[in-house]
Amino acid sequence: MYAAGGVLTVHTERGTSIVPADRAAWTPAGFTHDHRAHGDTDMRIVFLAPSLARLVPDRPTVFLVSGLAREALLALTGPHTYEDAAPRYTGAARDRLLRVLVDELREAPEPALHLPEPRDDRLRAVARTLRENPADNATLAELGRAVGAGSRTLSRLLHDELGMTFYEWRTHLRVHHALVLLAEGHDTLRTASACGWANPSSFIAAFTNIIGTTPGRYRTGRRTGPDP
């Protein structure tokens, strides 16, 4: 699943992935999932035969899309592939494009855009609270009191279940929300405030560390140059 423009969120039992325009989400067979588009999104979907699917991870994954992978995805999808359109590629040519795409995905890094889903009910309750209000600056101890667990217990669960500290988890959750707001047209200042950052500079630093580009460049679809 690829967003040629806009942002997708893809949810499975393993968690939620954010898929901006330079990423592609892979969901293997057997994983129930749902997705949602944010902003003006151009969504493309490619299905892989079992012979190719076994070459990529057997878990839901988000890949960084190279220029070549993007062109393959665009060539394999779009209006020219609809039933009433004349075929653009022969079956053999399409098979070769699919193999190029899979080869590119196998070599692509997997950005940290997957937010794993907690299993413990107390962690799930904390997650719901923070998703509903990403700007909530309550401490882990304060959140724990609301769900009947101490901060040490929640910290241990975060480490054991998600492999993250509370700070890392909340930062990733906020950046996920920021991607959605930016796709919907909000500017950097408003997004930073809505996601709980006290000032834009700390938001820009956290966002850039996870996404690899600044919020301003991301919002305008650029990867280089000064941040608007």
Q: List the one residue out of 50, 48, 57, 67 whose CA is nearest residue 106.
A: 57
Q: How far is CA 119 from CA 47, 111, 161, 162, 163, in A?
A: 30, 23, 7, 9, 13
Domain ranges of the chain: 2-107, 118-219
Number of Cβ atoms within 10 Å of the Cβ of 215: 27
Task: Write down the pTM of the prediction.
Answer: 0.70
pLDDT value, residue 111: 62
Give per-residue burial for 33-54: e unless 16+ CB within 10 Å, then b: eebebbbebeebebebeeebee
pLDDT in tens, the chain (228 residues): 888 877 888 888 777 887 877 788 888 888 888 888 877 778 888 999 999 999 998 888 888 888 899 899 988 887 665 555 555 677 788 899 999 999 998 888 766 667 778 889 999 999 999 989 999 999 999 999 999 999 999 999 999 988 889 999 999 899 988 988 888 888 999 999 999 998 999 999 999 988 878 888 877 664 444 444
Give the whole-angstrom CA distance, residue 95 versus residue 224: 34
The topology (CATH level 3) of 118-219 is Arc Repressor Mutant, subunit A (1.10.10)
Query: What is the Cα–Cα distance from 164 to 140, expressed in whole angstroms?
Result: 13
Torsion on CA atoms 49, 32, 179, 155, rounded to nearest 10? -120
Q: What is the model's pLDDT at position 226? A: 40
